[in-house]
Amino acid sequence: MNMIQLLNIRKVFNMGRPNEFTAIHGVSLSIHPHQVTALKGPSGSGKTTLLSILGCMARPTSGRIMLFDREITSLPERFLTEIRRKTFGFVFQQFHLIKGITVLENVMLPAYPGGEGYGALRKRAMEILDLLSLSKKASSRVEWLSGGEAQRTAIARALINRPSVMIADEPTGHLDSRLSQEFMQIMGRLKQDRKTILIASHDPIVHESETVDRVIEMRDGRII
Amino acid sequence: MWIEKQGNIIDFTLSSLLRRKRKNLALISVYMLVIFFFASVMFFTHAIKKEASIILKEAPEMVVQKMAGGRHELIPLGYIEQIKEIRGAHSVKGRLWGYYYDPVAGANFTLMVPGEGEVEQGGIAVGKGVSRVRFLDEEDEMEFMASDGEVFGLKVKQIFSPESELVSSDLILISEEDFRKLFGMVKGVATDIVLSVRNPKELSTIALKIAERLPDTRIILREEMLRTYEMVFNWRGGMMLVVLSGTLLAFIIFSWDRASGLSAEERREIGILKAIGWETSDVILMKFWEGTVISVSSFFVGVFLAYLHVFFLSSPLFEPALKGWAILYPKFKLIPFIDFYQIATLFFFTVVPYTGATIIPSWRAATIDPDSVMRT
Ligand SMILES: Nc1ncnc2c1ncn2[C@@H]1O[C@H](COP(=O)(O)OP(=O)(O)OP(=O)(O)O)[C@@H](O)[C@H]1O
Ligand SMILES: [Mg+2]
């Protein structure tokens, strides 16, 4: 079974306008489950664009997407959001934590619309923070966190809805090499937990890591 | 499920509100102030109208005054017999009342002779306002100076706290003998004559008949008094409302601006929420709760403060605008009357538009594509 399958995906920005730009040119790709897949390529090659299509964040201009062999290409927005919430956990380059609230609240945030009881949710969030050695920081505000702590908080938040796929875009962009290695170690642990992981990165630490099973290279919106 | 979802989202809303403390406090204070002014005017005019209707409920249906040279004069008691002869008129009685200037308090009191036997000679019953300004307790003596210069004391037998302070705060009930002595009024005359009418339809016919029989009198109907009062109160209250409508308009513009101008930070947050799996409707729900918490809490605090202002502190802010006619009452207190219909109206015209003003811009922000977050 394929986790995610892309068939002849094209993404065109500003279609029909003078600044029309094709970011993805007919990409077909299968993502295997329980593996770490890295997307590699120069800046502007379309990594982020492809990742957001894989994660149901953006719709392709044409082509088809299958998730667990089920076609999801033309599902309405509401269903896509639900799929995104249940299936994917995202780690962004800038982490995008919400300032002014605690680490714990940030971690719980993606689960609020699911309607789970607060107590159970809190317990689960604490367990995840514990796994990432963040339990001591649970009630700190995110502004005070170090880079590594902020990153682990972002990972914890991505894990709260028990996603089967983790998606990370340039996760090591703001980290020094020690923290980058630590990130890859955490990804290794998640792989052991049978998560499927997708990482877009220029960083050789990512590509060369033994955690990564497969490196896909991109150039000018195509896979090479 | 549903309840938990609301609970979780409200939880986040509250901590969101706390994060933007300064902005939200400013918002709540302005909001509260507007509600406070509106509710104060509403409470005040409504309570005053209620007081007036209490006064008038006890007022006689018809008052006959004798006129001389266009001015109100003492009326001979002989007129009573003549009025009694008119069919349909009954309980025709002479009334004795007047104003007494008290140099100690520097105020005018209303003196009135009640029905027979209610106050005995040498005694008086005084309203709360009188006892307050003159520091009178029961069994104290109050000095009066008669029109011939003689000073004499009357004993306070009772201090009454009546249904409406507006009516009887300045009232002194006195016996007929003492009244006549005080004002040097001869027997056989009264201040005016009052009567009732059996059938209200006959009011104007009877008034006409009295006017024919006693051409030197003027007849005042209760209905006319009622209309005059209503006009005065409506006009004064109306003026205040015009002024306040301006305030409300300013408030709507202000809140629109405050609520609709989402800051870059708030937009970013909405983007993040969308990206981590919140639906557009969840974001709107959160903004809805945010608007509701702000407007409902300001509303109730504002109404509560207005209640204190009007009914416990005697509306210090409105005294010049609304209460020109009352000079006497140093601690004039209105009886708390609340019209829930008015409160509901105020609620509808403030809370609803405000909540709307917060939702619409968030709705626009919430429909942005979640992937935009990946590019910032
Ligand atoms: N919303 C958009 N409108 C127009 N052009 C866009 C938009 N989003 C992306 N692009 C263009 O698509 C191309 C691919 O962008 P993308 O962000 O996917 O590249 P990337 O491989 O992630 O680059 P980087 O390594 O710098 O993050 C770029 O040339 C970019 O300018
Ligand atoms: Mg990118």
The domain that holds B168 is classified in CATH as: 2.40.40.20
- B105 domain-assigned: yes
Same domain (yes/no): B236, B195: no
Order the strands of the A21-31 sheet from edge to edge.
A21-31, A4-13, A62-67, A70-71
Q: How many whole angstroms separate alpha carbon B309 and alpha carbon B157?
A: 33
Q: Is the CB of A43 under 6 A from ligand 1?
A: yes
CA-to-CA separations, B159 to B113, B286, B300, in angstroms, rounded? 16, 58, 37
- What are the respective helix, strand and coil percentages of chain A, to the nearest 5? 40, 25, 35
Among B221, B241, B271, residue at a domain's last position: B221
pLDDT at B328 over 50: no
pLDDT of residue A159: 93
d(CA A205, CA A197): 16
Other beta carbons within 10 angstroms of residue B20's beta carbon come to: 16
Asked if B280 lies within 8 A of A77 by C-beta distance, the reply is yes
The residue to mutate among A25, A47, A57, A174, having the most atoms of ligand 1 within 8 angstroms of its beta carbon, is A47
pLDDT, position B54: 73
Q: How many distinct structural domains can be found in chain B? A: 2
Q: Counting ligands in written order, which one lies closest to the CA of residue A222?
A: 1
Task: Tell me, in angstroms, the distance from the centre of ligand 2 to residue A57's CA.
Answer: 14
Separation CA A184–CA A199 (nearest Å): 10
Answer whether B277 sits within 8 Å of A161, measured CB to CB: yes
Q: Which residues of chain B make contact with A115, given a CB cutoff of 8 A?
A: 1-2, 4-5, 8
Kindly state the average pLDDT of the residues A198-213. 92
Q: Of B101, B163, B177, B181, whose CA–CA distance to B127 is shortest?
A: B163
Q: Give the ipTM.
A: 0.90
**Spatial separation of the C-alpha atoms in residues B333 and B168, rounded to whole Å:** 12
B111 CB-contact burial (10 Å; exposed 0-12 / middle 13-18 / buried 19+)? buried
- The model's confidence at residue B319, banded by pLDDT at 50, 70 and 90, is low
Kindly state whether residues B110 and B217 are assigned to the same domain.
yes
pLDDT in tens, B113-158: 987 777 888 899 988 878 888 888 888 999 999 888 889 899 999 8
Cβ A11 vs Cβ A59: under 8 Å: no
Q: Which of B195, B221, B247 is the last residue of a domain?
A: B221
B259 and B179 both lie in a single domain: no
Q: Give the chain B residue whose CA is nearest to the CA of A90.
A: B276
In sequence order, which ranges of chain B are alpha helices (DSSP H)? 2-19, 21-58, 78-84, 128-134, 165-168, 176-183, 203-213, 222-260, 264-275, 280-307, 319-322, 340-366
B206 and B66: one domain?
yes
- Residues of chain A in contact with residue B20, where contact means CB-CB under 8 angstroms, are 100
CA angle A195, A197, A203 (to 5 degrees): 145
User: Count of residues for chain A?
Assistant: 224
Q: Indicate if B243 and B204 belong to the same structural domain.
A: no
Residue B6: the pLDDT is 87
Bridge partners for A199 per DSSP: A38, A168
Q: Is B178 helix (H, G, I), strand (E, B) or coil?
A: helix
Identify whether the C-beta of residue B282 lies closer than 8 Å to the C-beta of residue B11. no
A173 lines ligand 1 (CB under 6 A): no
In this predicted structure, the answer to whether residue B326 has a pLDDT above a threshold of 50 is: no
pLDDT in tens, B60-114: 888 898 888 888 889 998 888 888 888 888 888 899 988 888 888 777 888 889 8
- Is residue B191 included in any domain, yes or no? yes
Q: Are residues B72 and B200 both part of a single domain? A: yes
Residue nearest to atom 1 of ligand 1 (CA): A13
The secondary structure of residue B202, as a DSSP letter, is G
B6 and B50: one domain? yes
Chain A interface includes B19 (CB < 8 A): yes
Is B286 part of any domain? yes
HSE, CB side, 13 Å, CA atoms: give it for residue A46.
25
CA distances in angstroms from B165 to B50, B269, B334, listed in the order given: 12, 57, 7
Spacing, Cα A11 to ligand 1 middle (Å):
11
pLDDT band at A49 (very low <50, low <70, confident <90, very high): very high
The atom of ligand 1 lying closest to the CA of A45 is 21
The partner residue sitting opposite A101, judged by closest CB among B2, B19, B279, is B19
Nearest CA to A92 out of A174, A208, A160 is that of A174
Q: How many CB pairs under 8 A join A and B?
A: 90
Pull the structure tokens for residue B120.
């005995």
Distance, in Å, from the CA atom of A88 to the CA atom of A82, rounded to the nearest integer, reads 10
Ligand 1 atom having least distance to the Cα of A170: 27
Asked whether residue B293 falls in the same domain as residue B359, the answer is: yes
* Statement to judge: residues B241 and B214 lie in one domain: no
Strands A165-169 and A88-91: parallel
What span, in angstroms and rounded, lies between the C-alpha atoms of A151 and A172?
9
Closest CA to B368 of B278, B287, B288: B278
More confident residue, B261 or A61: A61
Q: What percent of chain B has pLDDT over 90?
A: 9
pLDDT digits (tens, 9 = 90+) for B103-120: 887 778 888 898 777 788
- Pick from B374, B316, B228: nearest CA to A57: B374
Rg (chain A; Cα; Å):
18
Q: Are both B68 and B211 inside the same structural domain?
A: yes
pLDDT band at B179 (very low <50, low <70, confident <90, very high): very high
Interface test with B, best of A59, A79, A98 (most B CBs within 10 A): A98
Over residues B220-275, the pLDDT tens digits come to 888 777 777 666 666 666 666 666 676 676 666 666 666 556 777 888 888 899 88
Last residue of a domain, one of B221, B249, B267: B221
Indicate the SS3 state at residue B126.
Answer: strand
Is the confidence at residue A192, as pLDDT, over 90? yes
pLDDT band at B330 (very low <50, low <70, confident <90, very high): very low
List, in order, residues 6 or more apart from B30 with CB less than 8 Å away.
Answer: B251, B254, B255
Give the pLDDT band of residue B301 (cuts 50, 70, 90).
very high
Strands A196-200 and A165-169, how do they pair? Answer: parallel
Distance B250 CA to ligand 1 centre (A): 45
Q: A-chain residues within 8 Å CB-CB of B280?
A: 77, 81
Distances (CA, A) of B221 to B60, B171, B295, B364: 8, 23, 47, 62
Say if B226 falls within a structural domain: no
- State residue B324's pLDDT score: 44
Question: In chain A, which ranges are E strands?
Answer: 4-13, 21-31, 36-40, 62-67, 70-71, 88-91, 165-169, 196-200, 214-219, 222-223
Q: Name residue A211's beta-bridge partners.
A: none
**Which residue range is the domain that position B152 belongs to?**
62-221
Residue B82 in any domain: the answer is yes
Residue B12 lies in a domain: yes
Same domain, B209 and B91: yes
Q: What is the DSSP letter of B116?
A: T
Write down the pTM of the prediction.
0.72
Question: For residues B272, B276, B277 and B283, what is the CA-based torsion angle, rounded to 10 degrees?
Answer: -30
User: Rounded to whole angstroms, how far apart are CA atoms A77 and A75?
Assistant: 7
Does B369 sit within 8 Å of A58, measured CB to CB? yes
B183 and B318 part of one domain: no
Q: Is there a contact between A95 and B376 (Cβ–Cβ < 8 Å)?
A: no
